[in-house]
């Protein structure tokens, strides 16, 4: 059984006199979380005694925050699948998602998703909490996916994403050779009218920015390294198609499937600070065989 998620703090000199409410806000505990702790289980303790959020703190006080116990989503049926876990601790995990697998259940793919596979992994490792996807990948895109094991960790990662402190790099194979060999693609993206899935470059869309660098050129395609500065749906796929260099295999956006049967896109690298320890973590994973043989 997973233990309740608990945080411990010591009040510093510059925090002397703060109300507990303001202390919690300073330490990035959201108002929503505070409400949940008050009404759905959990507690706030100061020097071992339960207190209300209007309690005034003094230097060297110890503050303990215990969250309500999270439970797994019963609708996500465990799926025994051999996941490649790149990193895992009590607070987060990083997994190499294969192509041909949805991140979360949908109408088209209600089972056998990454979420279902993680539900099985949770059961096998005796973790009964919820899963919170910090990053996601399309069905046919492979690579690194970051998952928080608790809502507070997810909240901290959301803050980090807003500050662009989570850095993702993609490996891609595109048609032809982009000119210039490196640069910034800054086209707004919107949903195609009448389509649930497809996106397009549209001046009325959301801001989207992609950095790219050509690493190698072949006879009729190129290998790129890309970094997202925003996180729009199908962003890399739409941007490269708009440049006239769609991803190999990406039939939705004009790419030929002669050499590969899915979009040749792989989330290769991920860098972020651990939300609790502050340690800088950097990970990479090799692309699957269908891309490797073209490289």
| Per-position pLDDT tens, the chain of length 295 | 467 899 999 999 999 999 999 999 999 999 999 999 998 889 999 999 999 999 999 999 999 999 999 988 888 999 999 999 999 999 999 999 999 999 999 888 889 999 999 999 999 998 888 899 999 999 999 999 999 999 999 999 999 999 999 999 999 999 999 999 999 999 999 999 999 899 999 999 999 999 999 999 999 999 999 999 998 999 999 999 999 999 999 999 999 999 999 999 999 999 999 999 999 999 999 999 999 999 9
- From the candidates 14, 61, 89, 138, give the one annotated as an active-site residue: 138
Decide: 172 and 269 in contact? Cβ < 8 Å.
Answer: no
114 in Cβ contact with 145 (< 8 Å): yes
Cβ distance 34 to 53 under 8 Å? yes
> Which residue carries 């729009």 as its tokens?
232
Class of CATH domain 168-267: alpha beta
The answer to whether 158 is a known catalytic residue is no
Say what the pLDDT of residue 124 is. Answer: 93
The full set of domain ranges for the chain reads 6-66, 168-267
168-267: same fold as 6-66?
A: no
Which CATH superfamily does the domain covering 6-66 fall into?
A: RNA-binding S4 domain (3.10.290.10)
């Amino acid at each position: 059984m997973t233990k309740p998620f608990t945080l411990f703090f010591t009040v510093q000199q510059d925090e002397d006199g703060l109300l507990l409410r303001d202390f919690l806000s300073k330490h990035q505990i959201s108002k929503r979380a505070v409400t949940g702790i008050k009404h759905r289980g959990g507690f706030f303790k100061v020097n071992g005694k339960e207190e209300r959020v209007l309690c005034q703190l003094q230097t060297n006080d110890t503050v303990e925050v215990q969250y309500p116990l999270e439970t797994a989503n019963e609708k996500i049926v465990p799926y025994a699948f051999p996941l490649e876990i790149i990193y895992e601790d009590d607070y987060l995990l990083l997994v190499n998602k294969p192509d041909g697998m949805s991140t979360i259940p949908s109408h088209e793919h209600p089972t056998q998703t990454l979420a279902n596979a993680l539900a099985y992994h949770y059961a096998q490792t005796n973790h009964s909490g919820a899963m919170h996807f910090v990053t996601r990948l399309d069905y046919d895109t492979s690579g690194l996916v970051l998952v928080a094991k608790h809502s507070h960790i997810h909240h901290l990662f959301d803050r980090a994403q807003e500050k662009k402190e989570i850095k993702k790099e993609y490996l891609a194979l595109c048609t032809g050779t982009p000119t210039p060999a490196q640069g910034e693609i800054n086209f707004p993206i919107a949903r195609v009218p009448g389509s649930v899935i497809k996106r397009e470059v549209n001046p009325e869309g959301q801001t989207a920015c992609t950095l790219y660098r050509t690493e190698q050129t072949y006879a009729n395609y190129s290998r790129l390294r890309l970094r997202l500065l925003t996180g729009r749906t199908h962003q890399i796929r739409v941007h490269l198609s708009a440049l006239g260099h769609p991803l190999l295999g990406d039939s939705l956006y004009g790419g030929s499937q002669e050499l590969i049967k899915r979009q040749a896109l792989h989330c290769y690298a991920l860098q972020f600070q651990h939300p609790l320890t502050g340690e800088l973590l950097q990970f990479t994973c090799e692309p699957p065989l269908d891309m490797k043989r073209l490289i």
